[in-house]
Amino acid sequence: MFINSKFQILCLRKAGWTYHQELAYFKQLIKLNLLEKELSLLEAQEIYASLNFRHKPLNPFIRTKFNYEHLNQLSQQSLFILDEDFPHAWQQLAQPPLLVFFRGYRDLLKQRLISIVGTRSVTNYGKCVLPLLINKILNKNWKIVSGMAQGVDQICHAHAMVYGPMSTIAIIATGFKQVYPKNHEEFQTKLGQKHLLLSEYLPDQKAKRHHFIMRNRLVAGISPVTLVVEAALKSGSLITANYALQANRELLVLPGRMTDQQSAGCNELIKIGAIPIINLQDLSQELDRISTYFYPKFPLV
């Protein structure tokens, strides 16, 4: 039996390897010029044996434990970094995802994408302004990416779902059979039917603390621009904003009053060079500028 590099990474994922362990295996394939070659289980075991880990992970290539049918099913539900329709923007990241599972319409990945993040504790001002921003973005034929968290994320996804099918992408920090937070179960199911759900994690994987930070890098990295709408000084949204800056992405920010705790992080981002969005015309102009550079084949709306 011979398996390609996508199946090999799936084997590692099933065996519980960490992202950094998978990446080490992937880099070894590159070093040995084997990335695009199908390997026997024995050859894959030899690569496994050549890796120097402080704590050796499980060997996933033992024939008696190898379930080809299950791996094939997972393969059909996932995007590999070498696949033609894998997001090019992710390939540019310092820590690119090697394998991402999907539910829904993956053609959304070919559209113009903007990532929107913000506080879980949205203020009345945020609840008033956010729908205006979302409608402007969708009317200009951009699609919205967010992380399915409470607050800004949920508002973004919900408004996009009302706008019409194939309008939003949710990148989640669990497997598809797990839901976090629990009250998003119906919401997540509906989104996966008419839009697109993405996850780095196997279907049964529950949420772990570090998953949310890893998810944030994907939210920031998948699009050329991230919009931050309300974020406190210690908000997780600032982690996403930092990922966007590290990946040389555009960063747009909704400013707020100096007395508003939920705008303190946003104002700090503006202080270090993020672009403030003070009205809908600003947003429209910035999207047109970014589209001309990153999406030249798309007509401006």
SS3 track for the chain: CEECHHHHHHHHHHCCCCHHHHHHHHHHHHHCCCCCCCEEHHHHHHHHHHCCCCCCCCCCCCHHHCCHHHHHHHHHCEEECCCCCCCHHHHCCCCCCCEEEEEECHHHHHCCEEEEEECCCCCHHHHHHHHHHHHHHHHCCCEEEECCCCCHHHHHHHHHHHHCCCCEEEEECCCCCCCCCHHHHHHHHHHHHHCEEEECCCCCCCCCHHHHHHHHHHHHHCCCEEEEECCCCCCHHHHHHHHHHHCCCEEEEECCCCCCHHHHHHHHHHHCCCEECCCHHHHHHHHHHHHHHHCCCCCCC
Write out pLDDT tens, residues 218-250.
Answer: 999 999 999 999 999 989 999 999 999 999 999
Q: Is the pLDDT of residue 152 over 70?
A: yes
Residue spans per domain, the chain: 2-76, 106-294
Write out pLDDT tens, residues 92-148.
Answer: 999 999 999 999 999 999 999 999 999 999 999 999 999 999 999 999 999 999 999
Percent of the chain topping pLDDT 70 = 99
Total number of residues shown for the chain: 301
Distance CA 293, CA 202 (A): 35
Q: Which two tokens stand for residue 36?
A: 């695009």
Instruction: Tell me the CA distances in angstroms from 263 to 118, 147, 231, one per residue in order.
Output: 10, 19, 5
Model confidence at 301, pLDDT cuts 50, 70, 90, reads confident
What strands, in cross-sheet order, belong to the sheet with 196-199? 78-80, 99-104, 196-199, 168-172, 143-146, 113-118, 225-229, 250-254, 275-276
Q: How far apart are the first and last CA of the chain?
A: 52
**pLDDT at site 64:** 59
**What is 106-294's CATH number?**
3.40.50.450
Write out pLDDT tens, residues 163-187.
Answer: 999 999 999 999 999 999 888 999 9
Write out pLDDT tens, residues 4-29.
Answer: 999 999 999 999 999 999 999 999 99
Distance CA 212, CA 198 (A): 13
Which of residues 63 and 128 earns the better pLDDT score?
128
Model confidence at 263, pLDDT cuts 50, 70, 90, reads very high
Contact 87, 222 (CB under 8 A): yes
Contact 222, 171 (CB under 8 A): yes
Distance CA 207, CA 110 (A): 28
Q: Is the pLDDT of residue 48 over 90?
A: yes
**pLDDT at site 107:** 96
Q: Is the pLDDT of residue 91 over 90?
A: yes
Distance CA 141, CA 146 (A): 16
Q: Which two tokens stand for residue 206?
A: 């529950």
